[in-house]
């Protein structure tokens, strides 16, 4: 029996991974997994195209194997006053059905990010190479095997939201490159002309604001992850997803058994 914990940065990443696994299973003719929430007091509720859903740290048993998805609440796991990176040791066990399982394999799925953020500030361990080295150092301190995938494609200085933009379905996939740059440029020119403070470009802002114009639940709650269940918005067969789906299938086959 394999016991695997998929470590992600926050709930946005957790929700995306859950949805992606669901889509991949459906495409293979498999039923959705029945995930159990680890802590009912630490959950987020989404009103999606398909109804109300709850998300948080979760665990499931499938084909005899136990798989968890756990948010680390950031990528910087150093203890206070320590330069040695270290994840919370709580991620080394999973609890399900009154039993505790020792994790033997870890898969980290995190943003690679860029060396500088949209404000122009340096990002500690930002950029694919630096983030990969940093997180491999953290994961190597956990007992058991580990692998790492950095969003969006395990090779560039990018993040989850950039992957989301890349998998927008037609006719939406042309809209952001066509309209977003001119929209932001117009805002910037007007703000600067009126001596109003202005924040530079952000991919999180881009996909979030776009989703409010397409999905009713996002327009209500301003949380773009709810749009992942909108059947018209996404191309789940996009080539941009291939690196991540291939990595998931090869490292956690129990998700697709």
Peptide bond into 133 cis (omega under 30): no
pLDDT above 70: residue 4:
yes
pLDDT above 60: residue 152:
yes
What pTM did the predictor assign? 0.91
- Position 221 scores a pLDDT of 84
pLDDT above 70: residue 72:
yes
**DSSP assignment of 46-93:** EEETTEEEEESSEEEEETTEEEEEEE-SSS--PPTT--S----GGGGE
CA distance 209 to 205: 6
pLDDT digits (tens, 9 = 90+) for 92-126: 999 999 999 999 999 999 999 999 877 778 888 99
On whether the CB atoms of residues 151 and 244 are closer than 8 A, the answer is yes
Mean predicted confidence (pLDDT) in 174-185:
85
Strand bridging mode 44-48 / 51-55: antiparallel
Which residues, including other chains, have CB under 8 Å from residue 216's CB and lie 6 or more apart? Answer: none
pLDDT digits (tens, 9 = 90+) for 126-142: 999 999 999 999 899 89
Q: Which residue has the tokens 């114009």?
A: 213
The share of the chain scoring above pLDDT 90, in percent, equals 67
pLDDT band for position 78 (cuts 50, 70, 90) = low
Mean pLDDT of the chain: 90
- Position 77 scores a pLDDT of 62
Least confidently predicted of 48-57, 63-72, 184-193, 247-256: 48-57
Mean predicted confidence (pLDDT) in 202-210:
83
- Position 65 scores a pLDDT of 97
Q: Which two tokens stand for residue 212?
A: 């409010």
- Position 49 scores a pLDDT of 72
């Amino acid at each position: 029996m394999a016991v695997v914990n998929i470590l992600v940065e926050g709930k946005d990443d957790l929700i995306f991974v859950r949805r992606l696994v669901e889509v991949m299973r459906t495409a293979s003719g498999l039923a959705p997994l029945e995930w159990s929430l680890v802590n009912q007091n630490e959950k987020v509720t989404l009103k999606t195209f398909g109804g109300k859903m709850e998300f948080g740290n979760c665990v499931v048993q499938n084909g005899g194997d136990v798989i968890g998805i756990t948010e680390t609440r950031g990528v910087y796991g150093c203890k206070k006053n320590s330069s040695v990176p270290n994840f919370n040791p709580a991620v080394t066990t999973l609890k399900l059905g009154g039993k505790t399982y020792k994790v033997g394999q870890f898969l980290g799925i995190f943003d690679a990010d860029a060396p500088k953020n949209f404000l122009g500030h340096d990002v500690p361990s930002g950029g694919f190479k630096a983030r990969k080295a940093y997180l491999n150092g953290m994961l190597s301190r956990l007992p058991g095997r580990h692998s790492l995938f950095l969003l969006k494609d395990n090779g560039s200085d990018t993040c989850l939201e950039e992957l989301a933009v890349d998998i927008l379905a037609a006719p939406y996939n042309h809209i952001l490159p066509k309209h977003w740059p001119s929209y932001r440029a117009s805002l910037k020119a007007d703000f600067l002309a009126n001596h109003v403070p202005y924040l530079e470009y952000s991919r999180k802002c881009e996909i979030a604001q776009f989703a409010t114009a397409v999905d009713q639940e996002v327009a209500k709650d301003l949380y773009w992850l709810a749009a992942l269940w909108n059947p018209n918005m996404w191309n789940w067969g996009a080539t941009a997803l291939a690196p991540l789906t291939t990595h998931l299938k090869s490292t956690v086959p129990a998700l697709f058994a």
